[in-house]
Amino acid sequence: MVYRRRRFTQMEAATDSVAVAPTAPTAARPAKPRARMMRQYDLVERVRSYNPNTNEDLLNRAYVYAMKAHGSQTRASGDPYFSHPLEVAAILTDLKLDDATIVAALLHDTIEDTEATRAEIDQIFGSEIGALVEGLTKLKRLELVSREAKQAENLRKLLLAIADDVRVLLVKLADRLHNMRTLEFVPPASRRRIAEETLDIYAPLAGRMGMQEMREELEDLSFRTLDPEAYNVVMQRLDALAERNRNLIGEIEAQLSNNLRHRGLGARVYGRRKKPFSIWTKMERKSVGFEQLSDIFGFRVVVNDVQACYRALGIVHTTWPVVPGRFKDYISTPKQNDYRSIHTTVIGPGNQRVELQIRTEEMDQIAERGIAAHVFYKEDAGSPTEFLKRESNAFAWLRHTVGILSESANPEEFLEHTKLELFHDQVFCFTPKGKLIALPRHANVIDFAYAVHTDVGNSAVGCKINGKFAPLSSELQNGDEVEVLTSEAQSAPPSAWESLAVTGKARAAIRRATRTAVRDQYAGLGRRIVERLFERAKIDYADDKLKGALPRLARSSIEDVMAAVGRGEIKASDVARAMYPDYKEERVGRYAKKGLAAKLKETVVPGTTPRPPAAIPIRGINSDLPVKFAPNGGAVPGDRIVGIVTPGEGITIYPIQASALKDFEEEPERWLDVRWDIEDTTPQRFPARIKVENVNEPGALAQIATVIAEHDGNIDNISMQRRSPDFTETTIDLEVYDLKHLSAIIAQLRAKAVVARVERVNG
């Protein structure tokens, strides 16, 4: 459905109390027949109907307290505001929830919208109810940059509160459901924003918690607001279809019931049509018309136990032909939201396709009410949250999502991850040892690896799917057996994996590992810079001594100090001064005063590379230091080189003859002594640039490229400019192993008849 992804960037933080409008003039409100507000005794009777041991005094006190607290506040409809928390409580009585949850529903807006305080609620109703109400209170005075950041912080707080007590979610969803039922009284701009947020977050969240009935109503209410024309068209088609097939539905129900009863199996059978939003999304997803849908009506077969489910399946499959590829067993492999049922499709009476869901009474309750059906009146269950931690897959998903909180760099990143987790259906894959891994649809091996363990994801280098080698980006299908191949040599994943990963967990782990790797690089650079300064100043360096100086540097750890030095946020001399207060910086370093001039006049023995005693070793781009090479010409082993520190970017390596170094003559503190430290056993290429003046004739460029290729050079980029009718100037960025390799290529190019001149470029 287009709403789900297209509108992510348009979302704003909706306030659930948006319907409160105490100052709005009555004449501006839409006319509406006043519904009778539920009385005190009505609420008590609703709770007593499913909980004979209810605490009537507690319910009565909460009713009176909330009514007085909200006082004369009104909603946009003109109704007393107290009607809203009362209706929220009524929705929760339909879910048969406990007294504390009903009371929290009555009080859920008191801290935010009235003079009530958490301390007062704790005193009157107890800390358990106070904590529930606090968890439902949005961030009222939070100063954030964007509405999306505010929305993310509200969702972050909500999920944290749910992790502490799952009843917070039930009240929150009931609150949103009643606001959606009365959305027509809200101004159009806010109405659309609230509907989008409901469709993007709250409906999927209800689905993730297994509360399918509530999810469907939230989706349909949002759909009706966001696209009323499409909603009305689907409803008209559904009503017409129901009228045409009224007798057929009854016939199918009767035949199913009779067949099962004749085989000695009692069952409750009933037909049910799909909701408008579900039908619309299927039409959008599969690009089909309404007439092409064959499963608008589905039938439930509800039996006593699991064994009876499989007996019923056998009876159905031996009575009517089965539609291939339409069988799913969610009893043996439940969905992540605890949904359990057997799905099958057969060619039933009148040659009609009949979609069947076979389940027990308990499964049926969980399918409709999710976690609300799990907990509250099970003997010895303990607290709802503790029970769910032990028993519920849906709650395990929630705990995993909350775990992302600590891994997200900012609120928007967390919101992105949460949405990714909310919207996908699932595929089920297995490890070679048979462990089941549930993943979002379209997930790949990278997601699988991180689902197994973060360390497995970080060190993944290959995989086998069903015994065959495959790329790590391979999309997984239901039932795949995946073996992830790892290597100890890879401690951090490539940053490009983040764009390939589907799950929030994988993306967060990759982002965190990338940040850690970059930080380690800066810390390594900072340590070398500090040690170099101490060596030249002839003073002792020790981590223990630096640890005692951390408060003076306003850093919490030695690694933080070193990373700050590497990023250019702290000078090495500041570290020395923090450790040795008497230290005085002497700008008499190797090139500190005379800079480039001193470096150029340095005497070098032919055939050797100068290695100052405190020089930092450079191994290439893929090293443990944040290193890059001069943008216009690069540098290769054999060049005399100097490093220039750029805050936040690391070291840029220049050959000493580069003209660009003159720009840094007045900044001696940025100059670093560096030296090549190349391993002969693992040769790597380095960037260089040459300028070739060649004859303008057919095949000239091909001859130049052939020379470079034959001598194992790698062309990275070419640009050409016509200098005269007869000659073209060709600038070539290439990669070579060292200065000797580059010189050999230049010599071979000069020997070509089409080449007039070749020179190396040093920016």
Catalytic hit among 45, 56, 112, 738: 112
CA–CA distances in Å: residue 439 to residues 142, 341, 371, 420, 445: 35, 19, 21, 11, 10
H/E element, 353: strand 353-360
How many Å apart are CA 375 and CA 382, to the nearest integer? 9
Q: How many Cα atoms are found within 13 Å in the side-chain-facing hemisphere of 533?
A: 24
Q: How many Cα atoms are found within 13 Å in the side-chain-facing hemisphere of 79?
A: 21
- Give just the sign of the alpha carbon dihedral 73, 79, 82, 87: negative
Task: Give the single-character DSSP code of 200.
Answer: I
Say whether 57 is catalytic. no
- Please name the residues in contact with 111: beta carbons below 8 A apart, sequence gap of 6 or more: 117, 118, 121, 133, 134, 137
Say whether 113 is catalytic. yes
Structure tokens at 301: 């077969």
- Lookup result for tokens 């003209």: 659
Question: What is the distance between the terminal CA atoms of the chain, rounded to a whole angstrom?
Answer: 53
Identify the three-state secondary structure at position 544: helix
Which of 137, 129, 197 minimizes the C-alpha distance to 172? Answer: 137
DSSP for 13-61? ---GGGGB-TTS-GGGSPP-PPPPPPPHHHHHHHHHTT-TT--HHHHHH
Residue type, 120: E
Residue type, 592: A
In contact, 480 and 429? CB cutoff 8 Å: yes
Query: What string of H, E and C letters represents the secondary structure of 638-689?
Result: CECEEEEEECCCEEEEEECCCHHHHHHCCCHHHEECEEECCCCCCCCCEEEE
- Lookup result for tokens 């409809």: 77
If you count DSSP H runs as helices and E runs as strands, how many of each does the chain have, helices first?
32, 20
Structure tokens at 555: 């850093």
Burial class (CB in 10 A: 0-12, 13-18, 19+), 474: middle
Catalytic hit among 16, 87, 113, 220: 113
> What are the catalytic residues?
112-113
